[in-house]
Amino acid sequence: MDLESAIRAHALSLGFDACRFTAAEAAPELALRLRAWLDMGAHGDMAWMAETADRRAAPKALWPEARSVVMLGVNYGPASDPLAALATPGAGAISVYARHRDYHDVIKGRLKQLAAFMLKRGGGGDVKVFVDTAPVMEKPLAQSAGLGWQGKHTNLVSRDFGSWLFLGAIFTTLDLAPDAPEPDHCGSCRACLDACPTQAFLGPYRLDARRCVSYLTIEHKGPIPRAFRSAIGARIYGCDDCLAVCPWNKFAQTAREAKLAARPELESPPLGDLARLDEAGFRAFFSGSPIKRIGRGRFLRNVLIAMGNSGDPALAAPAERLLDDPDPLIRGAAVWALARLAPERLLALQERAGSEPEPTVRDEWAKETQLPEKAASP
């Protein structure tokens, strides 16, 4: 058995669902597209993308000795409708990838095992493993290796697994025969572009992260811009809309990895229960989950936006309680939520704005308590 076949067979035995190879060469057109995207500010608060742009665009810029890249995929296909939570009254919608154990923990150990096997089987050399933890553009590399192609929503699409593949990479000094790249199979379809709730796509293959629900609910650290709050709906961590509507999902399979099976309590979690989580409760409930990384403040900000969009007056009481939260990010979102669930109650409490120390929260109070007056104006 040749080295490439041996590596592929061992990868599958470790639990990877796909393994292919590409050369560690730069793609000049990719660097140009990345620079244009950064220059227009479409990366938002993600300053690290600009800071690492030179290394991100070329594997050899990150590690000059690299000759080949092994791209690995792990299927995390959901067992049920990924968008069902959006139609569940009083529930929050969590992206499929975050409903189970943190995929970094699942994949990284296997990457190290495969890397060790490669060195032993290849008779030496060197390796570096990556799983979303370094300036590596996994999706273009995965397309170059033939795992799939970047669809019009900029995410990877696989003919075997649809939209649901976690990616990992092994850079190596070994000289591995590259696989053929996967051509684009999107055709004239634009289902993913039309499905976006915040119209984050500037066109096919062009995403403005500043409008993307996943960016707004995960990466963005401040108050969510008012222009997008209603469109976010019940999405409290990430968004699967553009992934879920892809026609190639007809070939998707349910994840075979038990650690990637959804936790039942995260499939349609009640917003009222989530709003009651204190710091200790948040950390305990999301132990081992990627959600834990954004912290309680950002997460409850998202929960409150969803509560405000729910139209459920029963959620007014938990929203009101959070007006006194120590975190100003939560207090500001609570003002917005209560204004939609019980506006008369918010008006009765508006004297609190006078003692609010945080300018962004005072701004929320000012905007929301003036809404009736503005509505009456011609």
Which percentage of the chain shows pLDDT scores above 90? Answer: 80
Checking if the pLDDT of 202 tops 90, the result is yes
Are 122 and 260 contained in the same domain? Answer: no
pLDDT band at 378 (very low <50, low <70, confident <90, very high): very low
Domain identity same for 303 and 338: yes
- Give me the DSSP letters along 140-173: HHHHHHTS-EE-TTSSEEBTTTBT-EEEEEEEES
Q: Are strands 206-207 and 201-203 parallel, antiparallel or unpaired?
A: antiparallel
- What confidence category does residue 371 fall into, taking pLDDT thresholds of 50, 70 and 90? very low
DSSP state of 94: E
Residues 144, 203, single domain; the answer is no
- Specify the pLDDT at position 69: 96
What is the total count of domains within the chain? 2
- pLDDT at position 28: 64
105 and 11 within one domain: yes
Judgement on whether residues 260 and 126 belong to the same structural domain of the protein:
no
Question: For this structure, is 17 an active site residue?
Answer: no
Query: Which segment of 90-94, 258-262, 351-355, 358-362 scores lowest on mean pLDDT?
Result: 258-262
258 assigned to some structural domain = yes
d(Cα 275, Cα 329) in Å, to the nearest integer?
14
**215 and 150 within one domain:** no
Residue 308 structural domain: 191-370
Q: Which of 125, 141, 172 is the last residue of a domain?
A: 172
Question: Is 211 found in the same domain as 72?
Answer: no
Answer yes or no: do 139 and 219 share one domain.
Answer: no
Give the chain's radius of gyration (CA, Å): 23
Cβ proximity of 20 and 145 under 8 Å: yes
Q: Which tokens go with 197?
A: 């709730």
How do residues 9-59 score in pLDDT, each as one tens digit?
999 999 999 999 999 986 767 777 778 888 888 888 888 777 777 777 678
User: For the chain, where are the alpha helices, taking DSSP H only?
Assistant: 3-14, 28-39, 47-51, 53-56, 59-62, 103-122, 138-145, 191-195, 213-214, 226-232, 241-244, 271-275, 279-285, 295-310, 316-321, 328-341, 343-348, 359-369, 371-376
- Residue 311 pLDDT greater than 80, yes or no: yes
Mean pLDDT of the chain: 92
> Do 38 and 145 fall into the same domain?
yes
Count CB-CB contacts under 10 A for residue 180: 10
Mean pLDDT of 82-86: 94
Contact 217, 211 (CB under 8 A): no
211-252 pLDDT, tens per residue? Answer: 999 999 999 999 999 999 999 999 999 999 999 999 999 989
Q: What is the pLDDT of residue 194?
A: 98
Please check whether residues 195 and 312 belong to one and the same domain: yes
Name the token pair of 119. Answer: 């060195």
Stretch 125-135: mean pLDDT:
89
In a domain, 139, yes or no: yes
Distances (CA, A) of 279 to 282, 314, 319, 325, 335: 5, 23, 17, 11, 20
Percent of the chain past pLDDT 70, that is, above it, reads 97
Q: Which of 45, 54, 126, 132 is catalytic?
A: 132
Tokens of 56: 């991100």
Residues 61-72: pLDDT tens digits? 889 999 999 999
Structure confidence at residue 368 as a pLDDT band (50, 70, 90): very high
